[in-house]
């Protein structure tokens, strides 16, 4: 095996680990959605921040924010969303269409602000906060 093969195997191992983490996180989110609905936690239409950070645009996603800065959310369909969008004219008029993202087990890992939060903790805080959260 040469160095290139080692790098390819390392990349494959990292991808397998990321996928396993995402599956585990998806299970946590599915449980949260069931618990939120059972608790009567009212979902809302989520908004996404534009890339330049100057404004927020409504989306076609109904669900719950997971962080107070409204940077990530969970849809009523059990999908995880990163709430950012380019913010072009058509999005401003019609609303942003977001694609679900693979959920991480730790929100904000590797972010510049250095603030990360375990997904389970974020879900627990959101559920405990009820409709007055935010």
Helix (H) or strand (E) segment spanning residue 41? none
Give residue-wise pLDDT tens across range 93-134: 899 999 999 999 999 876 666 678 899 999 999 999 998 876
Cβ–Cβ under 8 Å, residues 75 and 61: yes
Query: For a pLDDT cut of 70, what percent of the chain falls above it?
Result: 95
Asked whether residue 1 carries a pLDDT value surpassing 80, the answer given is no
CA separation for the pair 72, 69 (Å, rounded): 8
Cβ–Cβ under 8 Å, residues 110 and 99: no
Asked whether residue 91 carries a pLDDT value surpassing 90, the answer given is no
The pTM is what?
A: 0.87
Asked whether residue 3 carries a pLDDT value surpassing 90, the answer given is no
- Written as six digits, the tokens of 81 are 């969303």
Span 34-54, average pLDDT: 95
């Amino acid at each position: 095996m040469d160095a290139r093969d080692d790098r390819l195997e390392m990349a494959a191992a990292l991808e397998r680990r990321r996928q396993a983490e995402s599956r585990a996180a998806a299970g946590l989110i599915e449980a949260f959605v069931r618990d939120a609905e059972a608790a009567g936690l009212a979902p809302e239409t989520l908004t996404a921040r534009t890339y330049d950070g100057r404004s927020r645009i409504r989306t076609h996603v109904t669900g719950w924010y997971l962080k107070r800065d409204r940077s990530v959310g969970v849809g009523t369909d059990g999908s995880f969303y990163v709430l950012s969008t380019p913010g072009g004219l058509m999005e401003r008029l019609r609303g942003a269409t977001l694609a679900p993202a693979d959920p991480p087990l730790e929100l904000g890992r590797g972010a510049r602000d250095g603030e990360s939060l375990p997904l389970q903790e974020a879900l627990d805080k959101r559920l405990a906060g009820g409709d007055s959260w935010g």
